[in-house]
Chains A and B, each alone.
Chain A
């Protein structure tokens, strides 16, 4: 079937046009903006690397970056471990599988705001059910509004809760795609359950694990709403993450240049975090071919 260039363009234009206009052009404009001093109503002036230098000398930026890296690494790896465990549990055969799957997927439907309402209530120092339970067990409670470490713990808990369904589904689908014959062969060879996991399941799940990790690393790095709605970065800017830092620079302190530079550092940061996984994925795919 022959077609004109016009048909091809017409079919690709909507998607490519949207992505160009909303993502690429603004991102490129941001490069230019990051070398200017710019604020609302003021003419931009070229300042070279000054914005970058200022941010890199700002203690709050480094704290925000540290918080982000810590949360992202903890959240993504906890999700992968739990998701893998759940995928194996589901694949081993459970009664009422469909119903259980629906229950596990439920947090996927919950908005960040509604999740913040839930978890704020559960961990409320005065009336929270988890606070009661922790006290009854003689365990320390979470003072998330006062202590930065506890605030970040809450954010991490919330993120894992919201995104575990996604990680789980990817791993579960990959586990179901492993051919049954491999397990039968392993059983005939007398492999122990641990050997089956180590030699059959895990190697075959590596690509799915990498993809899930990659998706989640890149998305978790953008973390904004959970932090904003829970602590707003406080107390005293101690629980800020990079996206919150960028937002404050732009929309509270009106320094668009600095915010633009933060934006590019953010893109770079998420690429660096994702790089080892991308590299492994590339290797895995080459091994496949």
Chain B
């Protein structure tokens, strides 16, 4: 019996080790290799003791100034998309939490159903439209696309959170003479801050990392970091892994830190969105 328990604990330890290796090793390798001297990068097994160097980051700065410009673009697009998606989700999430009726229910179903349309399918008709309206290669257009693709999930996450807030609070606010919109922004929104954070985490991770829309709808002015990173990969000569790792690290590190800090909200949002949506 004792040996059986020991066996189970050993099995669990091995499983955990494998899971950690699978999840973290690729990321750790990129981050650590970006500050390794060239000859240490290819050492196998990977070296752990090395003198850190920033030569690859310097090379990146010199050869790919575009990349840093693109990081700024990514930041602008991410912020715009987040504000738009959170604001729209808050309003519609509140409406679906408080109002009932045939039209309301069908429009909720519609919000879910349209998500079946793949992004690449709507790029086709939107491409000439964006051109005609002068939206091609602008931050606002990209942000609007990103926000749209998260507004359904965002709505249902917000509804799940707002459902927890007692209706009596709305009624009390109404007795005090506050209108619906005032109630939403002054009373409900502060209490639903957790949900807004959860929606924000989704949109931020998506907007910062997205490739397809940026690939089709931007060329120079609004080009985002993943695109320039892809260009660096495309021009890769098979030798200078250091520069590639530096660029990937810069693109990756901020959002990884962000996800770790926001872990609680991410998990809460995922469970609320998937099970109640």
Contacts and interface: CB of A to CB of B under 8 A. Distances in A.
Interface of A: 1, 3, 7-8, 10-12, 14-16, 18-19, 21-27, 29-30, 33, 85-86, 89, 92, 94, 98, 100-122, 126-127, 129, 132-133, 161, 164-166, 169-170, 173-174, 208, 211-212, 215, 218, 221-222, 224-225, 228-229, 243, 246-247, 250-251, 256, 259-260, 263-264, 266-267, 270-271
A16 B118 contact: no
Contacts of B12: 89, 92, 94
B78 interface: no
Contacts of A89: 12, 15-16, 19
Contact of A118 (B30, B87, B270): B30
B116 A270 contact: yes
21 contacts: A3-B180, A7-B179, A7-B181, A11-B95, A12-B92, A14-B87, A14-B92, A23-B117, A26-B121, A29-B125, A33-B125, A89-B12, A92-B12, A111-B208, A111-B252, A112-B226, A113-B251, A114-B30, A218-B115, A225-B212, A271-B116
B26 A161 contact: yes
Nearest to A126: B238
Contact of A104 (B19, B125, B171): B19
Interface of B: 12, 15-16, 19-20, 22-24, 26-27, 29-30, 33, 42, 44-46, 87-89, 91-92, 94-95, 99, 104, 107, 110-111, 114-127, 129, 144-145, 147-148, 151-152, 154-155, 170-171, 174, 179-181, 184, 205, 208-212, 215-216, 226, 229-230, 233, 238, 241, 244-245, 248, 251-252, 255-256, 258-260, 263, 266-267, 270-271, 274-275
Given A23-B148, A26-B125, A166-B270, A111 B117 contact: no
Looking at chain A's contact residues, the main secondary structure is helix
A221 B26 contact: no
Contacts of A23: 114-115, 117, 122, 148
B270 A170 contact: yes
